Each structure stands twice: as structure tokens, then as C-alpha cells.
Structure 1
Amino acid sequence: MFTSHCFSMILFLLLLCSSSRMSNALNDALKKQQSDMLSLGAVVDYTSLAGKKEKVAMDLAIEDIYAHANHQNFPTLHVENSRGDPFRAASSVKTLIEKQHAKAIIGFGTWQEAVFVAQLGNESKVPILSLANEVPQWASCHWPFLVNAARSQNAQMKALPAIIQSWKWRKVNIIYEDMNPAVTGISPEIIAAIQEVDAEINDLLPLSFSSTSFSLKKVGAPEKWVVQSFHCSYFHYLSH
């Protein structure tokens, strides 16, 4: 909880301070209404464990700002529930911008949600801070007001080469969730980390986002590969 608390504090400080990554958009928004209460928005998925944790961390961050920060204008946080639905997330963003006059909005734990609301941020000049891990690098060029606020996976990637090297694995099969055609399902950092120890990536197998059970044959995997895979050692890496 302490880690989540500190992380959320950093994110909210991004909302309260100017940032070169946002092209000073947030700083300009704050200057327009210095005499008014600062309104911040958040869109999280209450149906997921991650969304519930994000909501608690945001509440704790706001409480700390009220308790310790010396600001003339204290922020008010308005939270909407996306229920994991990108269309509902977009509707929530419109509500936060038009009715709550949010100056910045944070949340959007998946790329599907982030891509749906990115254009709304551009049109209204409201910074959208996404917590999704899989936001591609080109997104910030296409949507200047979309900011990737997720923690970098680089630190996590450093552990993979060490594990592969310690077990002396020479070939690696990667099974990943194919979430959205607009973004690569497998993280480039994972591939780079494996190649660092001269291990060969034998197969890349995407699993459909709609798959309800772990069946490789459902996504067209060759039967020979499926049989061979049962004789492999498995290492599970979860990015969320």
C-alpha cells in the first residue's frame, strides 16, 4: 500500500506542476483558473482489483495533499467508473470535462480505454494520464495530450536475462495475450532482454483476448508445437 501511495502521489504532483512531457499544457490549464478550485478527474475500472487499488491510492494521495501541501487551491477529485468498457470510459471523460471542468484526467488502465479517450484530450486540451502498460511510443506524437504515466517495465526486464541465463535456456517460447491489433501484443523489452543472453526465440504464440480457457489449439497452434510444449519448463511473467 505504501508503494502505491507514493506512486499515486508522484502522479498527482504531475497534475499540479508543469511538465515538459505535456508540452506545458497542464501548466497553461492551471494558470487560467488560479482563483478557482482545481478540478481533477479519474476514470478507473471498479470491477477489477487493479482499479480498486488505484481508487484507494488516489484517495490517499488527495488526503496527503490536503494534510501537508501548502496550496492556495486544493484539488477536488472526481472519479468515474469505466467498468472496463472503452465506450463508457469515453463517456466518463466527456462528463468530467464538460460538467466537472476537469483540468487533467488520470486512469485508463488498458490501451483500449486510453486510445478511445486520447482524441478527446486533444480536442479539449486536457491532459490524459494513462496507467496502461502497453501504450506505444508513437502515441504521444499522434495525441500530444496523452501521457503514459505507467511505471517503466525496464527494471522488471532486467530480471529476465538473469533467470534465463541461470537455467542455461537456449530456446524460449513466448505465449502472450493478443489484446488489440493497434498495438503489438508482446513487449519489445521482453524480446530485447532475451536476446541479451543469446537465447533463441523459438515461437511467438498469441492468445486471443476472448479466449476463456488455455487451449493453444483454439488459436490455431500447430499440434506438434502443442505436444512439444508439454516437455518445456515454464516461466510466467505478468505485466499487469
Structure 2
Amino acid sequence: MGLSCITMSLSDFYSSNPSYKTRLVLNVRDSKRDEVAAAAAALDLIKNKQVQAIIGPQGSMQADFLIHLGNKSHVPIISFSATSPSLSSIRSSYFIRAAQNDSSQVNAISTVIQAFGWKEAVLVCVDNEFGEGIIPSLANALEEVGTQVPYRSLISPSATDYQILQELYKLMTMQTRVFIVHMLPPLGSRLFAKAKEVGMMSEGYVWILTNGITDLLGSMDSSVVASSMQGVLGIKTYIPDTPNLDNFMV
């Protein structure tokens, strides 16, 4: 999807500016959502293709290494989807984030929690750079509205169904019934399918999603959304409707 949008943008730009003599050439590599593959692709682009900038990578885990690589080689790293707040603390004049920082949504989440008067909430996050990055700012935002975080559940992105069930059983033994989930759709769909299976999607449980899932609901298995996620509340990035956006969507 990202590559399609970038290609269309270039086409639109040059059709609107036919006088431009230079042409931007895209050298495309697939990071395969893997840190090692992303690093190898970046090294190839910098050493062999001598690119002037790298757009990407897709995830925060991959970006963490590429930022240092770009800084060392003086090649700008421009990411439109690496959202972990921890990346902002990496001092590099060669890293440009063209996406919202995950911490931008914590006040919206804490306001919802405050409106319902919930005094405790459990954080359920994927156990990697993306998941852990939001925890400090989210915990602080909840503390400011008088809500405690008695437990932080970290689930591996490669967790088995059995491991997910074990973590859910642990959550069921706690008094807190309010869960804030921060992960991507592949793990999220499995989590909610198992939560439904053990009866945690029934009345009395509260599930709040960050935009890590809600911004990408269209990529999730529709059967999981319909059968296992009814009643879930999600924070979603607001994009104002404009004529330019309408034209681009068409």
C-alpha cells in the first residue's frame, strides 16, 4: 500500500511539474518485517546503489537499527510508519519521522478512562520496541487522571496460542477488568480470538485499542472482528476530509 501511494505521488508530481529535468528513482527492497532483512537491504542500498535517502522501514524495531546506520553513513532515514516514542530520543539529524508518535494518543485514552471513572487499567502490549515504546507516556497519562497500572502484560509477537491463553488466564485472576491493548493486527486478531474463547469478551470486561490496530482494521480477518471484537473501543487517527484526499482515494 505504501509503495503504491509513493509511486502515485511521484506520477502526480511530475505530471503537475513537467518542466523538472531530474527524476527521482525508486530502488525498492522488501524488509520482510524482519530486523536482519531490513539491515541487509539498507546496507545494499547505501553501499551498492549509493542512494541519497531511504524511505522506511515499516516498523519501529527495524527503524531502531537503521537510524544508527543512516547517521553513520550520512543517509537520511525517512519513516512514515515507525511510531515508537523511543525513536525520538535517538539523537540523529538523519532520522525524519513522517508519522504520528504513539504518545500523541495517550491523552485521548486517559480521558476515556477518566470519563468512566475506572481506577485501574492493565496494559497489554506486544513485547518489542513498538509495544514497549508507548508504556512510559501512557502510564504517566493514566496516573495524571488517578488511574493505576497494577500490571503490564507483554506478549511476544511470535507467541503460540497456548502462551496467549496462559497470559489471558493470568489476567482473569486479577481484579482489574480494564485492558488497554497496544499491538499490530496479526497478534491482535489472535489475542481477541482467544479472549473470546475463554469468555473475556463478555459483559464486565473493557477492551480499549490504540491506533496500532484500529488504524489497520481493514487488514484484519473480518471474521475475527465480527465474532470476537464486538464492544471493543478503539482510538483512531483523525484525518480531515479534503478535496485532495478525495481525489487521491479515487
Report if the CA contact (8 A) 2:126-2:132 is conserved. Answer: no
Tell me how far 1:138 sits from its aligned partner.
Answer: 5.8
Matched, 1:184 2:132: yes
Matched, 1:105 2:78: no
Higher relative contact order (CA closer than 8 Å, sequence separation 6+): 1
TM-score, scaled relative to structure 2: 0.62
Matched, 1:239 2:212: yes
Which of 33, 36, 46 is equivalent to 1:84?
33
- Greater shift after overlay, 93-102 or 106-115? 93-102
Residues 42-81 of structure 1: CA distance to partner in whole angstroms, max 9, x if unpaired?
A: xxxxxxxxxxx21112112211221224544231222111
- Greater shift after overlay, 104-113 or 146-155? 146-155
Q: Aligned partners of 2:160, 2:146: CA distance in 1, in Å?
A: 34
Q: Give structure 2 stretches of 5+ with no counterpart.
A: 178-199, 214-250
2:137 match: secondary structure = helix
Tell me how far 1:132 sits from its aligned partner.
Answer: 0.9
Residues 149-187 of structure 1: CA distance to partner in whole angstroms, max 9, x if unpaired?
A: 32234553342133212322121111111114x983543
The root-mean-square deviation of aligned C-alpha atoms, in Å, is 3.0
Matched, 1:133 2:83: yes
Which of 8, 14, 24 is equivalent to 1:66?
14
Equivalent in the alignment of 2:156: 208
Letter in 1 for 2:43: K
TM-score, scaled relative to structure 1: 0.64
Equivalent in the alignment of 1:93: 42
Tell me how far 1:234 sits from its aligned partner.
Answer: 2.0
Q: Are residues 163 and 228 of structure 1, via their aligned partners in 2, closer, same or farther at CA, if it must alter by over 3 Å?
A: closer
Letter in 2 for 1:132: A
Tell me how far 1:216 sits from its aligned partner.
Answer: 5.5
Tell me how far 1:129 sits from its aligned partner.
Answer: 1.6
Equivalent in the alignment of 1:123: 72
Q: Are residues 179 and 155 of structure 1, via their aligned partners in 2, closer, same or farther at CA, if it must alter by over 3 Å?
A: closer
Report if the CA contact (8 A) 2:67-2:94 is conserved. Answer: yes
Tell me how far 1:108 sits from its aligned partner.
Answer: 1.0
Letter in 2 for 1:113: Q
Q: Aligned partners of 1:217, 1:128: CA distance in 2, in Å?
A: 39
Equivalent in the alignment of 2:189: none
Tell me how far 1:106 sits from its aligned partner.
Answer: 0.9
2:209 match: secondary structure = coil
Letter in 1 for 2:82: A
Q: Aligned partners of 2:102, 2:133: CA distance in 1, in Å?
A: 15
Q: Are residues 117 and 150 of structure 1, via their aligned partners in 2, closer, same or farther at CA, if it must alter by over 3 Å?
A: same
Say which structure is richer in strand. 1
